[in-house]
């Protein structure tokens, strides 16, 4: 059976990201349906070309998938620092700021992306937005006192005039969804996010909040996949950026 159109777009973006991989690299592997394509294609290429790659996964799910694809998976502490992380996103704006965490892996995704020379996002066109905020913002919180933390998050959103309709605890069937790090996630339906930096700072300052799904100034490049199999590469013009860093 052929791929549906959105899978064609995701696969196209993942395949284009593969061109950035070189023998000997230490790679961060994202989580989600688009990152899954990258891991599969990476495994195939590593096998075909006998590449020596060291991978750090952003979730248990991805670690299992990468191992089944024959890739060497180590912990971030074993790898130390990464050359490149390739991950998906729920939204990206013209400044390549992101909302991530729809798949529940935002904390490890942010740690891994931050420990990388480069973070490249692969996404289909539906993730491209003018302003972040249509996708509910995931906020990872510790389980202790979670209802109190959720209430303070809601107050903070009200104070910043970004509160939308609902803030909900993410569920997994009848139970709260628990992240790989043992935390809960609340999904915040917001009005349009104006100052993403300030919002992230205010939320991160709340005791009990571990991390938000706002990825500000972390992503270096977005590869957008289209349903006809084409791709577009988006980058921020940055004179400080060394053009030779990317191939």
Integer CA distances (angstroms), 194 to 133, 178, 190, 210, in order: 9, 29, 11, 22
Identified binder of ligand 5RP from the candidate list 31, 62, 85, 116, rule CB under 6 A:
31
Asked if 109 is an active-site residue, the reply is yes
Where is 124: in which H helix or E strand? strand 116-124
Instruction: For residue 34, state whether it binds ligand 5RP (rule: CB under 6 A).
Output: yes
Q: Which of 13, 63, 66, 88 binds ligand 5RP (CB under 6 A)?
A: 88
Long-range Cβ contacts of 227-231 (<8 Å, 24+ apart): 227/5, 227/6, 227/8, 227/9, 227/124, 227/125, 228/8, 229/8, 229/9, 229/12, 230/12, 231/12, 231/13, 231/16
Task: Supply the minimum distance, in Å, between the C-beta of residue 117 and ligand 5RP.
Answer: 20
**Subset of 152-171 contacting ligand 5RP (CB under 6 A):** none
Q: Using the rule CB under 6 A, is 6 a contact of ligand 5RP?
A: no
Tell me, rounded to whole angstroms, the distance of Cα 127 from its chain centroid.
12
CB atoms within 10 A of CB 173: 6
The answer to the question of whether 10 is labelled as a binding residue is no
Whole-number Å distance between alpha carbons of 97 and 39: 23
The one catalytic residue in 44, 67, 91, 109 is 109
* CB-nearer residue toward ligand 5RP: 104 or 136: 104
- Our finding on whether 33 is near ligand 5RP (CB under 6 A) is yes
Is 143 annotated in a binding site? The answer is no
- Give the containing element (helix H, strand E) for 99: strand 98-99
Which of 28, 43, 101, 225 touches ligand 5RP (CB under 6 A)? 101
- The region of 20-28, 96-104, 139-147, 226-234 touching ligand 5RP under the rule CB under 6 A is 96-104
Among the listed residues 104, 124, 129, 97, the one whose alpha carbon sits nearest the alpha carbon of residue 30: 104
105 annotated as a binding-site residue: no
Q: Which residues fall in the annotated binding site for substrate? A: 31-34, 87-90, 100-103, 127
Residues making up the annotated binding site are 31-34, 87-90, 100-103, 127
Binding footprint of ligand 5RP on the chain (CB under 6 A): 30-35, 87-90, 100-106, 109
As annotated, the active-site residues are: 109
């Amino acid at each position: 059976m052929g791929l549906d159109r959105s899978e064609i777009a995701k696969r196209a973006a993942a395949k284009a990201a593969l061109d950035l991989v070189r023998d000997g690299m230490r790679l961060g592997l994202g989580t989600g349906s688009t990152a899954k394509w990258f891991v599969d294609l990476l495994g195939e290429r590593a096998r075909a070309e006998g590449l020596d790659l060291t991978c750090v996964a952003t979730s248990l799910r991805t670690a299992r998938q990468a191992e089944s694809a024959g890739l060497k998976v180590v912990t971030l502490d074993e790898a130390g620092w990464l050359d490149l992380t390739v991950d998906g996103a729920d939204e990206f704006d013209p400044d390549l700021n992101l909302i991530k965490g729809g798949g529940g892996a935002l904390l490890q995704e942010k740690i891994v992306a931050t420990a990388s020379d480069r973070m490249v996002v692969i996404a289909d066109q539906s993730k491209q937005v003018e302003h972040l905020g249509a996708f509910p913002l995931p906020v990872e919180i510790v389980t202790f006192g979670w209802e109190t933390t959720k209430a303070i998050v809601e107050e903070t959103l009200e104070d910043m005039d970004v509160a939308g309709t609902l803030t909900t605890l993410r569920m997994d069937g009848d139970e709260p969804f628990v992240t790989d790090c043992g935390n809960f996630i609340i999904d915040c339906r917001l009005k349009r996010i104006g100052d993403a930096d300030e919002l992230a700072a205010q939320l991160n300052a709340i005791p009990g909040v571990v991390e938000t799904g706002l990825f500000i100034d972390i992503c270096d490049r977005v590869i957008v996949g289209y349903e006809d199999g084409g791709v577009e590469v988006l980058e921020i013009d940055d004179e400080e950026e060394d053009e030779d860093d990317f191939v």
